[in-house]
Amino acid sequence: MSAIVSVVIPTWNRHELLERAVASVQAQTYSPIEIIVVDDGSDIQVSLKSGGSISRVYHRPHLGISAAINFGLARANGELICILGSDDEMKPELIATEAIFILDNPNVDMCYTDSISTNAVIQRFDRIPDYERYATMATGIPHGCALWRSEIIRRIPHDETLPSGIDYEFIMQAFEAGVRMSWVPGEPLWILNVGPHPRECGTKRQREGVRISLRRRSRPIPDWLKESMDP
């Protein structure tokens, strides 16, 4: 029997986009998959159409994306876990490709693919993850393109004090905890939605979260983040 993969999807006021994100998980060529949607206090409670995957929806007060992720991770049953933004999508082969890779490589704790945005821009991530470069340039590996061993991702709680920018803080903590990461060769399989909609964090809040992470590590703020700082 194949390893169960849990996909945790935190969401807040994104009903139509969430349906698309969930549909992309239900269309995966891999099975078994469980889908855990954590509704972070949306104005109208989330409900989902039935699909081929096991699905659970939890409704919580609005406590922020990190709290929603931590809540979902605590309820995930999978041996492997992915966190998918409710505004993003997966190509049908994403989970199968990453699950085969990580199960075939016992020395890998997390693997990731490249991404393609909805405006057709391909983002190539580092073939060899580089802590120093990430700490200097304030870049990293987003959640949606990564698959984790469950015992590894549970060791690193998402910081609920950050306003946003949680992907960056999380990947820095993973490096510092000695997590072994590997890029998966092949085509981009994570679809980043860049359409005209409000993202969970908002650009200003996201950048402020990254600045907080850098200050914690006594790292200088890159020029691109300085330029975006409010006067």
DSSP per residue over the chain, as a string?
-PPPEEEEEEESS-HHHHHHHHHHHHT-SS--EEEEEEEES-SS-------SSEEEEEEE-S--HHHHHHHHHHT---SEEEE--TT-EE-TTHHHHHHHHHHH-TT-SEEE--EEETTS-EEPPPSS--HHHHHHHT----GGGEEEEHHHHTTS---TTSSS-HHHHHHHHHHHTT--EEEPPSS--EEE--SSS--SS-HHHHHHHHHHHHHHTTPPPPHHHHHTS--
The pLDDT assigned to 2 comes to: 83
Which CATH number characterizes residue 193's domain?
A: 3.90.550.10
pLDDT number for residue 223: 83
Average pLDDT over residues 59-81: 95
In the predicted model, what is the mean pLDDT of the chain?
88
Can you tell me the mean pLDDT for 134-161?
Answer: 92
pLDDT score at 11: 94
pLDDT in tens, 6-38: 999 999 998 888 999 999 999 999 999 999 999
Question: Does 54 have pLDDT greater than 70?
Answer: no
Does the structure show a pLDDT above 80 at 50?
no
Domain count, the chain: 1
Q: Is the pLDDT of residue 64 over 80?
A: yes
pLDDT score at 192: 87
The pLDDT assigned to 202 comes to 46
**Containing structural domain, residue 159:** 5-227
Average pLDDT of 206-213?
A: 88
- The arithmetic mean of pLDDT across residues 62-71, rounded, is 94
Mean pLDDT of 38-56: 78
What percent of the chain lies above the pLDDT cut of 90? 62
Q: Which range has the worst mean pLDDT, 4-8, 136-140, 153-157, 169-173?
A: 136-140
Chain centroid to CA 189 = 13
pLDDT, position 53 = 61
The pair of structure tokens assigned to 28 is 């995966």
Over residues 171-187, the mean pLDDT reads: 95
Q: So what's the pLDDT on residue 230? A: 53
Residue 118's pLDDT is 80
Q: Is the peptide bond before 231 cis (omega within 30 degrees of 0)?
A: no
